[in-house]
Amino acid sequence: MKTGPDFSVLPKYYHHYVMLVQNKSLTEALEESGKQLASLLSSVPENMGEYRYEPGKWSVKELICHMMDAERIFAYRALRFARNDSTDLPGFEENDYAPEANAHARTVEQLIKEAQRLRQTTLDLFTSFTSEMLQRKGTANKNLVSVINIGYIIAGHETHHYNVLKERYLK
């Protein structure tokens, strides 16, 4: 049984994310990306929370909220598919979510702690899945994807934004 990402049931849009973490077990990818992000964010002073590297881009706080929103949505999809729910699930528009996240009413520290709790819950969910459940598939946003790939998408998406934070926000 396949234990790593399966690019044959991974929408092309997500290949870049998954390639960032493909050489790790799913648990390692989720644990390491979460720790890496928390470490980086702990160096962000509160006065940088509303910083945008360019007009029209998300602030640091909005970016953190975006990562958490995406993780919650992907984990929900994984749960549905792992439970053999064959309902086609809709996509979501990340740019509509960001301004509604109430990001600037919270501190960077609060967002870091929330992201850490969320990641622990995501790890709990994925480690509860059997090998068979991880191989199950479903359709989200009109794309077929497997449960295991969703876990890799979560870790890779976070790694991608970790890189963006380092290169564009905290250079």
pLDDT at 29 over 80: yes
Q: Identify the pLDDT of residue 158.
A: 98
Confidence of residue 146 (pLDDT cuts 50, 70, 90): very high
DSSP for the chain reads ---S--GGGS-GGGHHHHHTTTTS-HHHHHHHHHHHHHHHHTTS-GGGTT--SSTTSPPHHHHHHHHHHHHHHHHHHHHHHHTT--PPBP---HHHHGGGS-GGGS-HHHHHHHHHHHHHHHHHHHHHS-HHHHH-EEEETTEEEEHHHHHHHHHHHHHHHHHHIIIII--
Q: Identify the pLDDT of residue 3.
A: 79
| Number of other CB atoms surrounding residue 104 within 10 Å | 13
Give how far Cα 40 sits from Cα of 64, 130, 166, Å: 12, 32, 8
- Max distance between CA atoms of the chain, in angstroms, equals 48
Domain ranges of the chain: 7-169
Q: Identify the pLDDT of residue 171.
A: 85
**For range 80-91, the mean pLDDT:** 96
pLDDT at 39 over 90: yes
Pick the CATH number of 7-169 from 3.10.129.10, 3.40.250.10, 1.20.120.450, 3.40.50.720: 1.20.120.450
The amino acid present at 29, given as its one-letter code, is A
pLDDT at 137 over 70: yes
Confidence of residue 123 (pLDDT cuts 50, 70, 90): very high
Average pLDDT of the chain, as a whole number: 96
Confidence of residue 36 (pLDDT cuts 50, 70, 90): very high
**pLDDT over 90 percentage in the chain:** 96
Q: Identify the pLDDT of residue 2.
A: 59
Q: What is this structure's pTM?
A: 0.96
